[in-house]
Structure 1
Amino acid sequence: MLKEIANLEKGVVLITGDAKKLAKIFLNAWLSKGKVFLVEYLPFEVDYPENVFIGNIDEGVGFDGYLLYSLLSRPKSERTKYYSFIAGQKDKLILIYEPKYFRDSLFGYALKDFIDYLVAYKRETMGMERIDVYKLEEGKVIKKKTYVRRF
């Protein structure tokens, strides 16, 4: 399912758990296809900086994709504004990068109705990393896959 996400042409992907490497891989895959992204904040470097603009989603200029940073940590009133924005961008790529770890607790937020994929990254204490990938439709999980990497 990770390849499926990297090859998306449109959709909303939420990455939680401070998974900078994964977010960078996805964003670079999309930027390599010539897509232009507006980012609020970029917590890592990208291979195609000429295709990335830093700014606010209220700018009114159309982009191929957007990177929203730490959306679930914002006040509820501010999140509602972003939900309206996401709902109006059905033909765009939207990557939501959340440094905090959310997996099952995400389903208590209204955001679950807008996302197509949830990627929850967790570094376990027993010398491994775990990535849970959920494919969602209308807020319900239709497919789930877990990846584990030992180090």
Structure 2
Amino acid sequence: MLKEIASLERGVVLLTGDAKKLAKIFLNLWLSKGKVFLAEYLPFEVDYPEKVFIGGIEEGFEFDGYVLYSLLSRPKSERAKYYSFIAEHRDKLILIYEPKYFRDSLFRYALKDLVDYLVAYKRETMGMDRVDVYKLEEGRVVKKKTYVRRF
């Protein structure tokens, strides 16, 4: 399912758990295809910095994709503004980067109805990384896959 996400042309991907490596991989793949992104904040470097603009979503220009940072940690009234923005731009690529770890608790938020893929990254104490990938349709899980990397 990670390959599905990497080859997306449009859709909403929520990355939780401070998954900088995965976010960087996805963003670099999309940028290498010629897409231009608007990012609120970028906690990592990309290979194509000339294709990433930093600014707020109310810029007024249309981009091929958007990177929203720490959306679920914002006040409820502010999240509502972002939810309507996401609903209006479903024909674009939207990467929501959440430093906090959300997996099952995402389903308490209205965002679950807008997200196509949830990628929850967690570094386990037993010497491994765990990545849970959920494919969502209308807020319900239709497919789930878990990846484990030992180190």
Q: Tell me if both proteins adopt one fold, taking TM over 0.5 as the criterion.
A: yes
Which whole-Å CA distance do the structure 2 matches of 1:47 and 1:80 have between them? 32
Which amino acid is the alignment partner of residue 53 of structure 1?
F
Deviation at 1:90? 1.5
Which amino acid is the alignment partner of residue 56 of structure 1?
G
Deviation at 1:102? 0.1
Which whole-Å CA distance do the structure 1 matches of 2:146 and 2:90 have between them? 27
Gaps of 5+ in 1: none
Which amino acid is the alignment partner of residue 128 of structure 1?
M
**Deviation readout 1:37-88 (Å, 9 max, x if unpaired):** 0000000000000100000000110000000000000000000000000000
TM (norm. structure 1) is 1.00
Q: What residue in structure 2 maps to residue 18 of structure 1?
A: 18
1:21-100 map, 5 Å: 21-100=21-100
Which whole-Å CA distance do the structure 1 matches of 2:127 and 2:91 have between them? 40
Size of the aligned set, in residue pairs, is: 151
Which whole-Å CA distance do the structure 1 matches of 2:140 and 2:123 have between them? 25
Which whole-Å CA distance do the structure 1 matches of 2:59 and 2:49 have between them? 19
RMSD: 0.3
TM (norm. structure 2) is 1.00
Which whole-Å CA distance do the structure 1 matches of 2:51 and 2:91 have between them? 18
Deviation at 1:2? 0.3
Q: What residue in structure 2 maps to residue 120 of structure 1?
A: 120
Which whole-Å CA distance do the structure 1 matches of 2:26 and 2:115 have between them? 16
Percent of residue pairs identical: 85
Which whole-Å CA distance do the structure 1 matches of 2:76 and 2:149 have between them? 35
